[in-house]
Amino acid sequence: MADRLENDAGTITQVKPEKKLKRPRLYRVLLHNDDYTTREFVVQVLHTVFHRGEQEAIRIMLHVHHTGVGVAGVFTREVAETKVQRAERLARSQEFPLRLTMEPEEEEDA
Ligand code: TYC
C-alpha cells in the first residue's frame, strides 16, 4: 500500500513503496543413477547440455554412479526446466532411461 505524506502546506503526496528487487529463486538440476544408461552418454549430456568440461563431467557422472544422485547444475526455473527436457529427450532418442529432476535451492537472506 502506498504511504501518504502530508507537508506543511497541506499537500498530500503519495509515495510508492520501494519495490524489492528479489533475486530469482534458483533450482538444482539433479541427475539420477540407473543401471542402463552408459557412462559415456551421461558424460556427453553433462558436456552438451550442462556445458561441463570433460574432467568435471566425468567427476559428476562417477559421483552419481556411486551415490545415486548428483547436481548437474543450478539455474533459474525456466532454464532448469529446459535443460531437464533437452537431456531427457536426448536420452529417450537413444532409448536410455536417464532421469533428471529439479529442486529449489533454499532461500538466502539479502
Ligand atoms: N550406472 C550407469 C552404468 O553403470 C552409469 C550412470 C551414471 C547412469 C550416472 C546414469 O545418471 C547416471 N552404466
pLDDT (tens digit per residue) in 34-78:
999 999 999 999 999 999 999 999 999 999 999 999 999 999 999
Ligand 1 atom nearest to 70, measured from its CA: 11
Task: Supply the DSSP string of 25-40, one letter for each residue.
Answer: PEEEEEEE--SSS-HH
Which residue in the block uniquely carries the three cell numbers 535443460? 83
Q: Which helix (H) or strand (E) holds 74?
A: strand 69-76
Nearest-atom number in ligand 1 for the CA of 36 is: 13
Mutate to test the pocket of ligand 1, among 35, 39, 47, 59 (most ligand atoms within 8 A of CB): 39
Cβ distance 28 to 106 under 8 Å? no
**Cα–Cα dist 64/35, whole Å:** 11
**For the CA of 38, the nearest atom of ligand 1:** 13
**CATH assignment of 38-104?**
3.30.1390.10
**Does position 1 have pLDDT exceeding 50, yes or no?**
no
State which of 29, 40, 65 you would mutate to test the pocket of ligand 1, scoring each by most atoms of that ligand within 8 A of its C-beta: 65
Please give the model's pTM, rounded to 2 decimal places.
0.82
CA-nearest of 25, 27, 50 to 103 is 27
